[in-house]
């Protein structure tokens, strides 16, 4: 865009760049990607009057905004329509900004370091194999409920040192938080969420009380014993933090595995390519992360003004930054809709975000994906979609697929 926008008011820009965007789109993922590509080409930052947010679509604009968290932008509220979830309270730590957020990152980063995650890799592998044991004899697997969903949930319990036998309970709560009551009324979903929230908080409170009384050598104890400026983290904040960590780690890993398995079921040559040599797997996972890219952050202008692309926007304007739009920018990724494991020296994807809020679970996520694909490949070298079954695309504040039903002949 070559026009000079410096003298235009924000209201004028909103009118000129008005193009609504559905955060919960109908249609197919490819239709949304085509729409995002069209915007990127014609006017990379548009204004959606519906929901009242700007939508960035280019890799450069999205990266630049995310990198400027605390320098012109803040994360709260991290939702495009600005409606704050869970009362008026910011989610910890994803919607905290400034020094309090830095304190949480100083606490969490070392607890999820590569060394900490390497120490539980064998446990993660055992979880993958237990889950595969559960369906291997049947020659079929409904990927989301039988593997992609429970796998990161149980790994989270392992990481935190919580009882593994509570996995089912935990998965039920998360399922209600994320999906509500499928087929139920709004009221039924609301009631189920309130119940799940009360139960999970009571469960977490018991763990917190236990660690206060009987400290152990685990991550949970470290977090429970942490003080910020001489004050312990309150029970309510601990509960918020643990629930956020669980949801952030579960939904995303599940989505990447589910979308990847749906794709690989129909592209078995790629499944083989992933294991062609010991060096093939890591770049293949990065490409799948780029291509699946489930998360969609929002940032808010927090200073008098901030530059967004070619515009200067005032305080309070929200910019929605779908990471899958950045990751499909043809400026950096040729044939962006294609999965290509042989991209030469690819630009780093932004699937884990950038800047202050870049995913704290990145090492755990990469290890989970590596182990999941290795064990699935070892035990299920070939698979296909069950005849007549088609994955269902789910597009909300994160993107995923379900109904990924595969059939296979187990390894001999
Ligand atoms: C493939 C898997 C994953 C993806 C794609 C992913 C993606 C992301 C993204 C995009 C953000 C930042 C959002 C923003 O900028 O507003 C984020 C933050 C976060 N993620 Fe992940 N994540 C993954 C796995 C995990 C795991 C396994 C954990 C484990 C607990 C985790 C915990 C968190 C937490 C606590 C934050 C908040 C960080 C902060 O606000 O400073 N994530 N993740």
Residue where the block lists tokens 């968290």:
69
- Asked, for residue 29, whether it belongs to a domain, the answer is no
- Asked, for residue 54, whether it belongs to a domain, the answer is no
Q: What is the C-alpha radius of gyration for the chain, rounded to an integer number of angstroms?
A: 22
Spatial distance between the Cα atoms of 224 and 217, rounded to a whole number of angstroms: 12
- Asked, for residue 242, whether it belongs to a domain, the answer is yes
- Asked, for residue 318, whether it belongs to a domain, the answer is no
Q: Which amino acids bring their CB within 6 angstroms of ligand 1?
A: 75, 78, 93-94, 105, 244-245, 248-249, 252-253, 256, 294-295, 297, 323, 351-353, 357, 359-361, 364-365
- Asked, for residue 23, whether it belongs to a domain, the answer is no
Spatial distance between the Cα atoms of 381 and 56, rounded to a whole number of angstroms: 40
Nearest CA to ligand 1 atom 4: 252
Nearest CA to ligand 1 atom 18: 359
Nearest CA among 189, 217, 153, 142 for reference residue 392: 142
Q: Write the DSSP symbol of residue 199.
A: H
pLDDT digits (tens, 9 = 90+) for 16-70: 999 999 998 889 999 999 999 999 999 999 999 999 999 999 999 999 999 999 8
How far does Cα 283 stand from its chain's mean position?
19
Backbone angles phi, psi at 348, to 5 degrees: -60, 135
pLDDT digits (tens, 9 = 90+) for 272-331: 999 999 999 999 999 999 999 999 999 999 999 999 999 999 999 999 999 999 999 999
Residue 360 Cα to ligand 1 middle (Å)? 6
Under 8 Å between Cβ of 317 and 311: no
Nearest CA to ligand 1 atom 22: 359
Distances (CA, A) of 385 to 7, 67, 132, 270: 56, 40, 17, 15
- Asked, for residue 201, whether it belongs to a domain, the answer is yes
Under 8 Å between Cβ of 156 and 123: no
Spatial distance between the Cα atoms of 119 and 206, rounded to a whole number of angstroms: 26
pLDDT digits (tens, 9 = 90+) for 187-217: 888 899 889 989 999 999 999 999 999 999 9
User: For ligand 1, what atom is nearest to the CA of residue 351?
Assistant: 5
Spatial distance between the Cα atoms of 117 and 239, rounded to a whole number of angstroms: 22
Instruction: Please name every residue paired with 32 in a beta bridge, in sequence order, or none if there are none.
Output: none
- Asked, for residue 153, whether it belongs to a domain, the answer is yes
Q: Which domain holds residue 123?
A: 87-297+335-408
Residue 97 Cα to ligand 1 middle (Å)? 15
User: For ligand 1, what atom is nearest to the CA of residue 357?
Assistant: 41
Residue 351 Cα to ligand 1 middle (Å)? 9
Tokens coding 199: 């139960």
User: Residue 1's pLDDT band (boundaries 50, 70, 90)?
Assistant: very low
Number of domains the chain contains: 1
Tokens coding 227: 């003080």
- Asked, for residue 321, whether it belongs to a domain, the answer is no
Produce one character per residue of 3-21: b if its CB has 16 or more CB atoms within 10 Å, e if not: eeeeeeebeebbeebeeeb
Q: What is the CATH number of the domain that holds 129?
A: 1.10.630.10
């Amino acid at each position: 865009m070559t026009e000079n926008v410096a003298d235009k008011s924000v209201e004028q820009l909103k009118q000129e760049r008005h193009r609504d965007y559905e955060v919960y789109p109908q249609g197919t993922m490819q239709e949304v990607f085509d729409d995002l590509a069209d915007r990127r080409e014609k006017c990379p930052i548009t204004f959606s009057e519906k929901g009242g947010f700007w939508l960035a679509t280019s890799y450069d604009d999205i990266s630049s905004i995310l990198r400027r968290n605390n320098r012109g932008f803040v994360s709260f509220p991290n939702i495009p329509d600005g409606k704050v979830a869970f009362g008026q309270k910011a989610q910890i730590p994803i919607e905290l900004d400034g020094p309090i957020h830095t304190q949480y990152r100083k606490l969490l980063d070392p607890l999820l370091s590569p060394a900490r995650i390497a120490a539980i890799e064998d446990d993660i592998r055992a979880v993958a194999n237990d889950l595969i044991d559960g369906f291997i004899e049947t020659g079929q697997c409904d990927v989301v409920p039988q593997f992609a969903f429970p796998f990161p949930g149980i790994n989270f319990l392992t990481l935190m040192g919580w009882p593994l036998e509570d996995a089912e309970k935990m998965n039920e709560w998360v399922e209600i938080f994320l999906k509500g009551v499928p087929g139920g009324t709004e009221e039924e979903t609301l009631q189920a969420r309130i119940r799940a929230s009360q139960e999970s908080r009571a469960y977490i409170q018991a763990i917190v009380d236990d660690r206060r009384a009987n400290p152990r050598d685990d991550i949970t104890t470290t977090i429970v014993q942490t003080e910020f400026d001489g004050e312990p983290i309150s029970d309510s904040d601990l509960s918020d933090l643990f629930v956020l960590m669980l949801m952030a780690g579960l939904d995303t890993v599940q989505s990447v595995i589910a979308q990847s398995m749906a794709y690989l079921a129909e592209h078995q040559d790629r499944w083989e390519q992933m294991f062609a040599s010991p060096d093939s797997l890591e770049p293949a996972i990065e490409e799948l992360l780029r291509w699946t890219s489930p998360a969609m952050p929002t940032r808010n202008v927090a200073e008098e003004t901030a530059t967004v692309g070619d515009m200067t926007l005032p305080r309070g304007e929200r910019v929605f930054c779908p990471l899958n739009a950045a990751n499909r920018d043809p400026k950096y990724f040729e044939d962006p809709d294609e999965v290509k494991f042989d991209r030469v020296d690819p630009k780093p994807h932004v699937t884990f975000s950038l800047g202050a809020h870049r995913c704290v679970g990145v090492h755990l996520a990469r290890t989970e994906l590596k182990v999941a694909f290795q064990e699935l490949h070892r035990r299920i070298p070939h698979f296909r979609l069950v005849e007549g079954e088609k994955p269902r695309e789910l597009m909300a504040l994160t993107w995923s697929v379900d109904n990924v039903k595969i059939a296979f002949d187990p390894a001999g």
